[in-house]
Amino acid sequence: MTAPSARDVVIIGAGAIGTVSALECLRAGHRVTMVDPGEPGGEQASSYGNAGWLSSHSVIPPAEPGIWKRVPSYLADPLGPLAIRWRYLPRALPWLVRYVWAARSGRQIADTAQALRTLLVDAPRLHAGLAEEAGLGHLIERRGLLHVYPDRAAFAADAAAWAIRHAVGVRWLELSADELRQREPTLHRRYTFGVMVEEAGHCRDPGSYVAGLADLARARGATHART
């Protein structure tokens, strides 16, 4: 039943975020229209072929102290994570300044990590519940996520990030080479140290999951405008 305070809600995009938002708006009694030219979960969608991590510990912001020092090497690498169209630089500059400013201190990073943790901590459980509602419970696996390293020294080099995760409540198991092989027998021998975050999970088929959530939203009254 539509609540007396119901509003007309238009959601741009019918991907993972759009379909979940549609379901929550419907749950609150609103009238929902999803706007997307493509089929939810289709091959054109970013949700279709991604890793499907339900990562409640992905709390490290991409902006971190000293990141500006890496910009020259990023730009010199044709496969690097940063590319700039120089004619666009004047327009991008205000955003770039804000990005660097967000990484000005460890305190800023810690505050951002805590905010992200608050946002993500219940993600595996909530996705499992949505999947059950859509009849797709088999698509959500809650068996943890494994991070692997060539050796303990490589893990130690990443210690700052793990310290931030620990500070916001993330816990993990450290695995030796033998323990890694027991869990993942086909893992390449070069990896001899691992970290298992047991609270996390993954979606076995993100495309089918998003399509199922969109079907559920439509069944509950949402419409899909392909414009």
Distance CA 140, CA 158 (A): 29
Distance CA 116, CA 114 (A): 5
Which residues fall within 8 angstroms of residue 56, CB to CB, at 6 or more apart? 117, 120, 121, 122, 123, 124, 170, 197, 199, 200
Distance CA 194, CA 177 (A): 8
Output the CA torsion sign for 48, 41, 32, 201: negative
Could you say which DSSP state residue 139 is in? G
How do the domains of the chain map onto residue ranges?
A: 66-102
In tens digits, the chain (227 residues) has pLDDT values of 555 688 999 999 999 999 999 999 999 999 999 999 999 999 988 888 888 999 999 999 887 777 777 888 888 888 888 888 889 989 989 988 888 888 778 888 899 999 999 999 999 999 999 999 999 999 999 999 999 999 999 999 999 999 999 999 999 999 999 999 999 999 999 999 999 999 999 999 999 999 999 999 999 999 999 98
Distance CA 172, CA 57 (A): 10
